[in-house]
Amino acid sequence: MTEEDRLGPAGDAVYEALTKAHQGLSAEQSHALNARLVLLLSNEVGDATRLRELFAAARDLGFATDRREI
């Protein structure tokens, strides 16, 4: 997983757009939106090996009890 900020100054705008996409949705709708985003972005990446690495990294980042383990 790259730790390089590849969005640069556009990162804040992307985060804002993602936040807006979730506004007004129920938790269930928000989860469904996230699932669709993962599938769409996975298709854009187009590399199954890389996607498995990213899925594992996302899981590790989300559930690490000690952030120093990352």
Structural domain boundaries of the chain?
46-70
Nearest-angstrom CA–CA distance, 49 and 28: 29
Q: Under the phi-then-psi rule, with left for phi > 0, alpha for psi from -120 to 50, and beta for the rest, what region is 26?
A: beta
CB 7 within 8 A of CB 17: no
For 44-68, write each residue's pLDDT tens digit: 999 999 999 999 999 998 876 555 5
- Per-residue confidence (pLDDT) for residue 64, from 0 to 100: 66
Task: Report which DSSP code applies to 65.
Answer: S
For 2-31, write each residue's pLDDT tens digit: 778 999 999 999 999 999 999 999 999 999
